[in-house]
Amino acid sequence: MTTLKQVSLAALLALGLGATATAQQAAPGQQQGDQVDQLDRMVDLSDDQKQELRELIKDSEGKITEMRTEAQQLQQALSDQIGPDYDEGEIRDNAEELGELTGDVTAESVLLQARIQDTLTEEQRATLEKRAQQQREQMRQMQEQMRQQQQQGGQ
C-alpha cells in the first residue's frame, strides 16, 4: 500500500469510524452533517461532493448500526450460554456468526472510506494527506512527551 493510501485511509478511517461509533448517540442526520462539515473545512468540498458524501455516510451508517445491533444480540446469546448446561454447537455457531458480522462491519467501514476518497479530487486527497501527516506528527510528539514524563516519574 502506498504512503498516500495509508495516510488517506488512516485519516478517513478516523473520520468515518468516529462518526459510526457515535452515530447511535446523535440525532438522526446530525452526525453525518458534522462529519461532512468537518471534511469540508479541511478540503473545501463542492456542494455536489457534500451531497454525495452525506448519502454515502447515511447508507453505510445504517448498515453498520444494523450489524452492530445484531452483533450485540449474538454477544448476549453467547453470554447466556455460560453455565453448566451450555450447548457447544450453539456457542460455536453464534461465535462464527459474530466473527462474520465483525468482518462485515470492518468491510463496510473500509468501503465507506474508499468511497469517500473516490469523491475527492487529487488536490483534496493531497490536502487530506498533509493534514493526516501533521496529526500523526502531533501524536508522535505527544507520545514522546508522555514517555519522557513516565521515565522522569520512575527515576
Task: Break the chain into its structural domains and give their ranges.
Answer: 37-144
Instruction: Compute the CA torsion angle 43, 134, 13, 24 (nearest 10 deg).
Output: -80
Q: At what angle do helices 30-43 and 47-80 cross, to 10 degrees?
A: 130
What are the cell numbers at 66?
A: 444494523
Three-state DSSP state, 29: coil
Predicted TM-score (pTM) of this structure: 0.65
From first to last of the 155 residues of the chain, give the pLDDT tens digit. Answer: 454 454 444 445 445 444 434 333 344 444 555 889 999 999 999 999 999 999 999 999 999 999 999 999 999 999 999 999 999 999 999 999 999 999 999 999 999 999 999 999 999 999 999 999 999 999 999 999 999 999 887 66
